[in-house]
């Protein structure tokens, strides 16, 4: 399973990259705003800065909701850096834009996916990634992991090439459940990745090893 970090925070991206396990980055307009990145020029240069830190795919989301606007913005974003993946919303024009970019060999990530039917449409449109939002479903007492399992089953039935990018990850158990179900990629905040490191027996064991070593020295 590939690990993407879900943030526009450059320090968090650097920290995950330094760990040596980072495969890419996802952003969205809310994550950009959270870092205080506003205005087209600043947003574009922030995407470039992210691409310079990581080696893998960096999802950059269009703001337009009409086909023409999505194509215009998508082309501008794709021209920024070869690592950019165009993030498109799961609406009618988003599906059309996904088909347009897929036919041109430009990578896409279809976002705001909450049902198996939407995931089928994304795959039919040739999306590189489909992003089911697991945490937001859990937030409304729905079953995020259940959706992930259904998409995995459907994609495997037909050998769709679209990679399932499990999004809206909230914590480490989400990451582990994604790996159990077979998500191709998970994208989560830094704490959901660093949380995987933790086990009290590791800390206790290390403390004892060091104490025993020091007895003989
Ligand atoms: C990433 O592609 C999504 O935009 C993101 O995971 C959404 O996460 P949230 O539900 O925590 O806002």
| 217 has pLDDT over 90 | no
The pLDDT tens digits for 163-182 are 999 999 999 999 999 999 99
Ligand 1 closest atom vs CA 165: 2
Residues contacting residue 159 through CB under 8 Å, at least 6 positions apart: none
| 216 has pLDDT over 90 | no
Taking a C-beta distance cutoff of 8 angstroms, is the pair 63, 73 a contact?
A: yes
Taking CA atoms, 20 is separated from 10, 24, 27, in Å, by 16, 11, 20
Taking a C-beta distance cutoff of 8 angstroms, is the pair 183, 167 a contact?
A: no
How far does residue 41's CA lie from ligand 1's centre (Å)?
A: 23
Can you tell me whether residue 53 is helix, strand or coil? helix
Residues contacting residue 39 through CB under 8 Å, at least 6 positions apart: none
The pLDDT tens digits for 135-156 are 999 999 999 999 999 999 999 9
Q: What integer pLDDT is reported at residue 40 of this predicted model?
A: 95
- Average pLDDT in the 26-46 region? 97
> Hey, which residues are catalytic here?
87
- Using CB distances shorter than 6 Å, the residues near ligand 1 are 6, 26, 28, 111, 131, 133, 135-136, 167-168, 187
Ligand 1 closest atom vs CA 59: 2
Averaged pLDDT score across all residues of the chain = 98
Cβ atoms within 10 Å of 68's Cβ, excluding its own: 10
**pLDDT exceeding 90 applies to what percent of the chain?**
99
Q: What is the pTM of this model?
A: 0.97
Ligand 1 closest atom vs CA 170: 11
| 196 has pLDDT over 90 | yes
Q: What is the CB-side half-sphere exposure of residue 125 using CA atoms within 13 A?
A: 28
Q: What integer pLDDT is reported at residue 208 of this predicted model?
A: 97
C-alpha span between 119 and 11 (Å, rounded): 32
Tokens of 163: 């990679």
Q: What integer pLDDT is reported at residue 112 of this predicted model?
A: 98
Q: What integer pLDDT is reported at residue 124 of this predicted model?
A: 98
**pLDDT exceeding 70 applies to what percent of the chain?**
100
The pLDDT tens digits for 53-110 are 999 999 999 999 999 999 999 999 999 999 999 999 999 999 999 999 999 999 999 9
């Amino acid at each position: 399973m590939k690990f993407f970090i879900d943030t526009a925070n450059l320090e968090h991206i650097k920290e995950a990259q330094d760990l040596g396990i980072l495969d890419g980055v996802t952003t969205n307009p809310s994550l950009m705003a959270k870092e205080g990145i506003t205005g087209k020029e600043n947003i574009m240069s922030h995407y470039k800065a992210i691409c310079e830190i990581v080696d893998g795919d960096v999802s950059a989301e269009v703001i337009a909701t009409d086909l023409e606007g999505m194509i215009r913005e998508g082309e501008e974003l794709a021209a920024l850096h070869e690592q950019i993946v165009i993030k498109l919303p799961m609406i009618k024009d988003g599906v059309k834009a996904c088909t347009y970019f897929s036919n041109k060999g430009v990578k896409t990530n279809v976002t705001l996916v909450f049902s198996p039917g939407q995931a089928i449409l994304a795959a039919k449109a040739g999306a590189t990634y489909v992003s089911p939002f697991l945490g937001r479903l859990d937030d409304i007492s729905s079953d995020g992991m259940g959706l992930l399992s259904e998409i995995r089953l459907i994609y495997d039935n037909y050998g769709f090439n679209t990679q399932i990018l499990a999004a809206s990850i909230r914590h480490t158990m989400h990451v582990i459940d994604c790996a159990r179900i077979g998500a191709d990629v998970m994208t989560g905040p830094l704490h959901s990745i660093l949380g995987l490191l933790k086990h009290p027996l590791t800390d206790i064991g290390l403390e004892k090893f060091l104490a025993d070593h020091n007895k003989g020295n």
